[in-house]
Amino acid sequence: MNHPVTEADVEEFRAEVRAWLAENVPAEPLPPWTEREGFDLHRAWEGRLFEGGYAAVDWPAEYGGRDAGLRRSMAFAEEYYRAGAPERINMGGLYLLGPVLMQYGTPEQCARWIPDLLACRTIWCQGFSEPGSGSDLASLRTRAERDGDHFVVNGQKIWTSMGGFADWIFALVRTDPEAGRKRKHDGITFLCIDLRSPGVEVRPLAMVDGTRGFAEVFFTDVRVPVENVVGEIDRGWAVAMSTLGFERGAVFGDHAKFSNDVADLAALVDARDLGEDTHALDELGRVLVQTEVYRANVYRLAARAEAGGELDSTASINKVFWTQMQHDIFDTGIRLLAEDGAAVGDPGSLPDADPATLRAWSQWHHRYWYARAAMIFGGTNEIQRNIISERVLGLPMEPRR
């Protein structure tokens, strides 16, 4: 950017975004993306965002973004959530793989994958976790053996978000088991794999709330061109760590989403006539305070990023806080619904419920379970606490290998 972004620039951009969203956001909320029909509608929405030039406003213009900078990107996110626009479904591509390609990818890789990713013509999922490798990710065993200008991949990935709907996976595979025996972080490669390749089997996992947002992916003698490696062969750990940094760190502007959720919670308290109930007030006040604190932190991190400061050390603190806050919001909501919330398994069982209760039920159960998952994915909150205690507070390492 040639000139510093002024408050007037931000407000001008905000007004433009607000007008576009008012024109384009679907009047009725889309059905959940965890079923095929809802997924296709969300994908169509992503296409519309792309056409409007809003798929990734923070990206550099050379990759199809708007070079919006932090403050305009935050204004975009604030307006997006304020307008009640659909949940984004291509976060793995936009926020994890995209930035990785810009940092580690070759110009050919960027040209090949980024435009389709940005337009949501291809959906990407992340293939890191394995059945035996969760928190101890570097112990992963999915093998990729070199055969001429291909790798032959055998193994299994699990907990791949949107795996059942994705076209491509960016995966960590072991390419040098010998090096890995000396130091397990060595000999790992970051490899992009077309899920339509022969030998790939994707099995959606039915989750606790009945949805199928996650999948297991099995690889049997899958041939993948060597040119699909991002970064250096055997040095994929550094590439993977940079994606985890993106995953844990602030998605600038998501504070607006949580503030909306707390406003919905207030609407529920009002609809259920709990406005004078001190317990309900305490619970509502507690999550309202958390969202205000989170917003202050997002703005602090943005100011720091704008000044060129590093955010790595803050990512773990941020992840523990926002995942706990998100849990508290939906947990509070479900408890405020009392028997209607936690004892009934389907909103159809509540024929006499008020609209706010029905809306809360249908929206929050899915997000409640997602909130529980968020305390596990991207490095469990226990792993984050290890990182905070060792790298931020400087306490001694646990013995581990």
Residues labelled as active-site residues: 247
| Shortest separation between residue 323's beta carbon and other proteins, angstroms | 11
Piece of the chain touching other proteins by CB under 8 A; list 31-39, 41-49, 195-203, 289-297: 289-297
Piece of the chain touching other proteins by CB under 8 A; list 60-68, 110-118, 242-250, 311-319: 311-319
Both structure tokens of 181: 């025996």
Closest CA to 188 of 246, 124, 150, 241: 241
The rounded distance, in Å, linking the Cα atoms of 13 and 56 is 14
Instruction: Write down the number of H helices and E strands in the chain.
Output: 13, 8
> What are the Cα distances from residue 242, in Å, to 100, 104, 351?
7, 10, 49
CB–CB of 110/101 below 8 Å? yes
Site membership for other proteins, residue 285 (CB under 8 A): yes
Residue in 70, 74, 202, 320 binding other proteins, rule: CB under 8 A: 320
Site membership for other proteins, residue 136 (CB under 8 A): no
Piece of the chain touching other proteins by CB under 8 A; list 119-127, 172-180, 342-350, 391-399: 391-399
Q: Which positions ≥6 away from 244 have C-beta within 8 Å?
A: 378, 379
Would you tell me how many other CB atoms lie within 10 Å of the CB of residue 149? 9
Piece of the chain touching other proteins by CB under 8 A; list 102-110, 131-139, 224-232, 286-294: 286-294
Nearer to other proteins, 136 or 382 (CB): 382
The rounded distance, in Å, linking the Cα atoms of 307 and 310 is 9
Site membership for other proteins, residue 388 (CB under 8 A): yes
Residue in 34, 211, 290, 357 binding other proteins, rule: CB under 8 A: 290
Closest CA to 229 of 108, 137, 65, 56: 108
Alpha helices by DSSP H, 183-235: none
Run of H or E residues at 159: strand 150-161
Q: What residues does 203 pair with on adjacent strands? A: 216
> What are the Cα distances from residue 4, in Å, to 15, 156, 324, 365, 386?
19, 48, 35, 43, 38
Site membership for other proteins, residue 323 (CB under 8 A): no
Q: What b/e sequence results for 187-214 when a residue is b if at least 16 CB atoms lie within 10 Å of its CB, and e otherwise?
A: bbbbbbbebeeeebebebeeeebebbbb
Site membership for other proteins, residue 397 (CB under 8 A): yes
Residue in 132, 210, 275, 345 binding other proteins, rule: CB under 8 A: 275
What does R_g of the chain's alpha carbons equal in angstroms?
A: 22
Q: How many CA atoms lie within 13 A of 290 on its CB side?
A: 25
Site membership for other proteins, residue 107 (CB under 8 A): no
Binding mask 326-365 for other proteins (x = CB under 8 A): ----------------------------------------
Site membership for other proteins, residue 223 (CB under 8 A): no
Amino acid identity, position 208? V
Binding mask 239-268 for other proteins (x = CB under 8 A): -----------------------xx--xx-
Piece of the chain touching other proteins by CB under 8 A; list 21-29, 58-66, 169-177, 392-400: 392-400
Site membership for other proteins, residue 304 (CB under 8 A): yes
Residue in 292, 328, 331, 354 binding other proteins, rule: CB under 8 A: 292
Residue in 44, 296, 338, 342 binding other proteins, rule: CB under 8 A: 296
Residue in 25, 102, 233, 288 binding other proteins, rule: CB under 8 A: 288
Site membership for other proteins, residue 82 (CB under 8 A): no
Q: Quickly tell me which residue has 């009392």 as its tokens.
A: 338
| Shortest separation between residue 401's beta carbon and other proteins, angstroms | 15
Closest CA to 244 of 137, 368, 166: 137
Nearer to other proteins, 119 or 271 (CB): 271
Q: Is 35 helix (H, G, I), strand (E, B) or coil?
A: coil
| Shortest separation between residue 282's beta carbon and other proteins, angstroms | 6
Q: What is the binding site for other proteins (CB under 8 A)?
A: 262-263, 266-267, 269-271, 275, 278, 280-282, 284-286, 288-290, 292-294, 296-297, 299-300, 304, 309, 313-314, 317, 320-321, 382, 384-386, 388-390, 392-398
